[in-house]
A and B are shown apart, each in its own frame.
Chain A
Amino acid sequence: MSFEVFRDVAKPIIAGFGITSRRLLQQKEKRATIQYPEDRREQFTRTRWRHVLTRYDSGLERCIGCSLCAGACPARCIYVEAAENSDSDRRSPGERYAARYEINLLRCIFCGYCQEACPTGAIVLRKDFELANYDREDFLYTKEMLLEPIRE
C-alpha cells in the first residue's frame, strides 16, 4: 500500500469510523442522528410549518374573516368567506368571523406573509411539519382542521 493510498483512502475511513465509535459511546442527546419518528429533534423557535388558527383565552376565535392573509399570500392559496356574528352565535369578538377558511398547502410556500398580515394574530405558522399525505384533496386544510382546540 503506497503512501498516497493510505493518505487518501484508508486514513479518512479510519477517521470516520473513529467519529462514529466515539459518538456511539456518548449519551443519546449528543448523537448526530436521531431515531425518527420515535425521537424528535427540538425545532428552532421561529420554524414556520403548518398554519394554526388561534383563539383568545376566552375561547373566541381570533380570526375576523378579513381576508388580509389571502390578499398578502403570494401563492394565492388562502380562501376566506366571512359571515356576521350574532349574539346567539358568537364566534369572534366584533361583527365578523370567518365562516369558511381554507388553505391549499400544496401551493403554500411557507413564507409567513399571512401571519404578518393578520391584524389579530389569528393565523400563525407553527411546528407541525409532518404533512405527507396520499391524496391532493387532503392538502386542502379547512377551518376545522386549522382551528386550534379550545383550551381547558
Chain B
Amino acid sequence: MAVDEGHRTVSVTINGIEIEVPQGELIVESVKRLGLEIPVFCYHPRMKPVGMCRMCLVEIGFKQPDGSVRMMPKPQAGCTLPASEGMVVLTDSESVHRDRKGVLEFLLVNHPLDCPVCDRGGECPLQNNTLAYGPSTSRFIDLKRHLPKAYPLSQYVMLDLERCIQCGRCVRFTEEISGEHELAFRFRGASMQPSTFQLLDFESKFSGNVIEICPVGALTSAQYRFRARPWDLQTTPAVCTACSNGCNVWFDHRAGRFVRINGRINEGVNEEWTCDKGKFGHDYYNSTDRLRTPLVRKGDQFVEATWAEAYEEIVKGLESAGKDVAGLCGTRIANEGLFLFNRLFKQVLGSRSVDHRWTRTLGTSRVQTPIAGIEGKKGVLVFGSNPAEDLPIVFLRLRKAATRNGTQVTVVTPDVTEADAFATVASRIGQGDVLKVAQEIVDGQSELARKVADCLKEDGAIVTSDRVRNLPGGGEALRLLEDLAARCGAEFNCYPTGPNAMGAELLGVLPGDGGLDTWGILQGCCSGTIKALWLLDCDPTTVEGGDQALESAEFLVYQGVTRSEATAFANVVLPMAAPAEQDGTWTNCERRLQRMTQAIAAPGDSKPAWRIFSEVILRLQPSTPFFNPREIMKAIADADPRFLPGASDLPEEGAILSATTQAAMAGDGA
C-alpha cells in the first residue's frame, strides 16, 4: 500500500538506477517498479507495516549536497521506510545478502523444518526465501524447542506453534481487516505466540484468510489438512458461489476432485479475501449425496434410468399437466441455465409461474452502489440485516470505509452485528418492530431518525439485503427506506443474497402477468391448480407448507446437484453439474457478470442445467438446440441488451451490467 502523501514524487536511486516514485512510498514497493524484489515475511501490501521480522533489510544512504553518498551505518527495514528525496537503496550488496542469511538462520533456529509433513511445504515463503537467500546448511546442533503441534484454533484453523515465526500477519489481519481482534500475541520475546483470548475458539467469519497470509505453515486449514501437496494440485480461476458477492477464487482440484478454495485478486470485488462460508463451503462437490444418474419413480421406488427415459417421463408428465405447470429454482445456477429454465416455462409450456425467491414477502432488489464504491461513501446506514453474515465482502469494504476513510456508519438491526464495533450509532430493532423502526426513521422525529439523517445527509448509502423481507413488515420497511434514500439523495442498496439471485432477477425468472409467485405456486400445488412442478436445485421442504405442496403435486421433477429432502417426493430426479463443473456466467450482487470455465468433470451422468433444458425444450418443441453456453449468452444478450458484455469475451475482473430496464423485465419473461 502506497502511503499516499499527495502526488509529489521523489527521486531515489535503487542499485544505481535512478527512478521517480511517489513520496512516502515504502521502499519494498518502490523496488518492484524496477522488477526487483525484497524478501519479506511480515509485510503485507494490504496491512500496515510493522517491521517485525527483519527479512527486508536493505542498505540505505542519502545523497549529500556535494554529490557524495552517505550510507547509514546499519541496515534498514525496507518495509517501514518511506521513500524520500535523494535516497540511495542497495538491495543486492554483499552485506545485504549476509544480513538476509543471518535473519534466516535465526528464524530457522526455532523452526522445526518438518517441511515434508507441513501443509505449507511447496508454497511456503519461508522455504522459498531460504532457498533463494538463506544458508544451505544448518549450524544448529542443539535440541529444538518443542511446542504444541496441530492445535485446533477453531473448526477451520489449525495452529502449529513450532512453525510460527511471529510475523504478526494473522494478528494484524484480525485487527485491521476483519476487525474483530480475535487473535493476539501472548508472552514476550522468543516465547511469543499468537493465540485467542483466554484460548477461546477463534470465531470469525473471515478466519480462513489467516491461513493464506501466514508466511509459514503455522496456521493451516483443518479441511485441507493432509489432503494434497501443492504440486499435486491443478488450479482453475473460479467465482465463489456461496453467496451473492461473487468473490474471485482459485478452485484447486486433484485427479478430478475438488480440494480447496483460495482467494484470487479482484480489486473490484474481494481484493484478495474470502469469507469462511466460501472458503470452507465447497465440500459438497465431493459429497456422497451427489446425484449421479437420472432416477425415475416406479411405484414406491426410484430406478436408475437413462436420460432418454427420464426425458420421456418428463414430457409425459408435463404434457398431461397442460398449462398447470410451475417452476421453482434456487440461485446456485449459472445465467445460461436460468435463462433456458425461464424459456421452458414461459415460451414453451406457456406457464407464467416461475420464481427464484424464497423470502417471506417477495420483492425485487435494487443496487446502486458497487461493492468497491462503499469505501468512498461519507455515511452508510446498515438496516435490518447483518452484513458480515449476509454480504461478507460488503462488510469488509464497510469496515475499511469506517476505519480508514472515516465513513460514518449507523447500524439498525434486530441482532448484534460485527459492524457495531466501528459504527457511530448501533441501534437494535425489537422483535416484530422492523416496520415501526423504519417508519420512525422516515418520520424524522426521533433521536435515531436524526442520527440517520445526519449520516445520510451527504453522499450516503443504505445497505440492506433481501433477508429483511423474512421479517414481518420487512418488505414495507424496505420500500419506506427506498423512498427516504431518494429524498435525501442517498444511494439505496437492497443486495440479494443468493449466489446468482441478481442474475435470476435480471433474466426475469419471476412470475409473469397473472403468474404465481413462490408462495402462490406452493399453495397451487396443495389446491390442485398446479399439477406439475419442477424444482431446480431448491428444497421447499425447508419452508412452511413445502412438505404438503410437494406431496400434493401430481408430477414433480427434482433437478439438483445433491440429494435433498425434496428428492423423496419426486417422480423424476435429474442429476445436475455443480458450478465449477461447467462453463457459465454468474451475476453477483452488484450486477458484475463474471465467467467461469469448467474446472473438473461432473460426476456420473450429471449434466449442466443449460444442457438439460436445451434437451427438454427440443423434445417439447422442434427447434434448434443450444450446443454451448456461449450461444446461450448470445441469445440472452439479443433478448436483453444489458447482457451485451457477456456476448463477447469478458474482462478478467468481469463487467458490471447497467441497471436500466430492470423493472420492465420482470413482467414479460425472457
Contacts and interface: CB of A to CB of B under 8 A. Distances in A.
B117 A95 contact: yes
A147 B501 CA distance: 53
B231 interface: yes
B116 A70 contact: no
A68 B116 contact: yes
Contact of A67 (B114, B225, B232, B255): B232
A82 B226 contact: yes
B33 interface: no
A84 B226 contact: yes
Given A66-B117, A119-B116, A95 B150 contact: yes
Nearest to A68: B116
A96 interface: yes
A60 B465 CA distance: 56
Contacts of B225: 84
Nearest to B122: A71
Contacts of A83: 226
A103 to B, nearest CB: 15
Contacts of A68: 116, 229
A147 B116 CA distance: 20
B228 A67 contact: yes
- Of B116, B150, B255, chain A has the most CB atoms within 10 Å of the CB of B116
Interface string A72-100: 00000001111110000000001110000
Contact of B117 (A71, A80, A96): A96
B231 A94 contact: no
A124 interface: no
Contacts of B232: 67, 70-71, 80
A114 interface: no
B116 A95 contact: no
A64 interface: yes
A111 to B, nearest CB: 18
B116 A79 contact: no
Nearest to A83: B226
Given A64-B116, A66-B116, A119-B116, A96 B226 contact: yes
Interface in B106-122: 114, 116-117, 121-122
B149 interface: yes
Given A64-B116, A64-B117, A79-B255, A95 B231 contact: no
Nearest to A120: B116
A71 B116 contact: no
Interface in A23-77: 64-68, 70-71
B226 A65 contact: yes
Nearest to B149: A95
Interface residues of B, number: 15
Contacts of B121: 66
Contacts of B229: 66-68, 70-71
B227 to A, nearest CB: 8
Nearest to B160: A95
A152 B598 CA distance: 52
The prevalent SS among residues of B at the interface is: loop
Of the four ranges (under 10, 10 to 19, 20 to 34, 35 or more), the interface on chain A belongs to 10 to 19
Contacts of A64: 116-117
Contacts of A95: 117, 149-150, 226
Contacts of A70: 229, 231-232
A64 B228 CA distance: 13
Interface string B205-228: 000000000000000000001111
A83 B227 CA distance: 7
Nearest to A96: B117
B364 to A, nearest CB: 48
Nearest to A118: B116
A71 to B, nearest CB: 4
Nearest to A79: B255
Contacts of A119: 116
A81 B117 CA distance: 12
Contacts of B231: 67, 70-71
A120 B117 CA distance: 11
Interface string B108-138: 0000001011000110000000000000000
B161 to A, nearest CB: 14
A101 to B, nearest CB: 13
Nearest to B228: A67
A90 B114 CA distance: 18
A81 B255 CA distance: 11
Contacts of B114: 94
A73 to B, nearest CB: 11
B294 to A, nearest CB: 30
Contacts of A120: 116
Nearest to B231: A71
A16 B255 CA distance: 58
B230 to A, nearest CB: 9
Contacts of A94: 114, 117
A70 B121 CA distance: 14
A96 B114 CA distance: 11
A94 B149 CA distance: 11
B71 to A, nearest CB: 43
Interface in B81-127: 114, 116-117, 121-122
Interface string B403-415: 0000000000000
A119 B255 CA distance: 25
A48 B232 CA distance: 25
A79 B228 CA distance: 10
A71 B149 CA distance: 25
A38 B121 CA distance: 49
A30 B469 CA distance: 94
A82 B114 CA distance: 15
A99 to B, nearest CB: 9
A95 B255 CA distance: 24
A111 B30 CA distance: 46
- Of B121, B225, B226, B229, chain A has the most CB atoms within 10 Å of the CB of B226
Contacts of B122: 71
A71 B150 CA distance: 25
Contacts of B226: 65, 82-84, 95-96
Contacts of A71: 122, 229, 231-232
A89 to B, nearest CB: 14
B152 to A, nearest CB: 12
Interface in B248-265: 255
A84 B227 CA distance: 10
A119 to B, nearest CB: 5
Contacts of B149: 95
Given A67-B232, A82-B226, 17 more contacts: A64-B117, A66-B116, A66-B117, A66-B229, A67-B228, A68-B116, A68-B229, A70-B231, A71-B122, A80-B232, A81-B228, A83-B226, A84-B225, A94-B114, A95-B149, A96-B117, A96-B226
Interface of B: 114, 116-117, 121-122, 149-150, 225-229, 231-232, 255
24 contacts: A64-B116, A65-B226, A66-B116, A66-B117, A66-B121, A66-B229, A67-B231, A68-B116, A70-B232, A71-B122, A71-B229, A71-B231, A79-B255, A81-B228, A82-B226, A82-B227, A83-B226, A84-B225, A95-B117, A95-B149, A95-B150, A95-B226, A96-B117, A120-B116
User: Can you list the 5 inter-chain pairs with the closest CB atoms, starting with the nearest?
Assistant: A66-B116, A67-B229, A82-B226, A96-B117, A71-B231
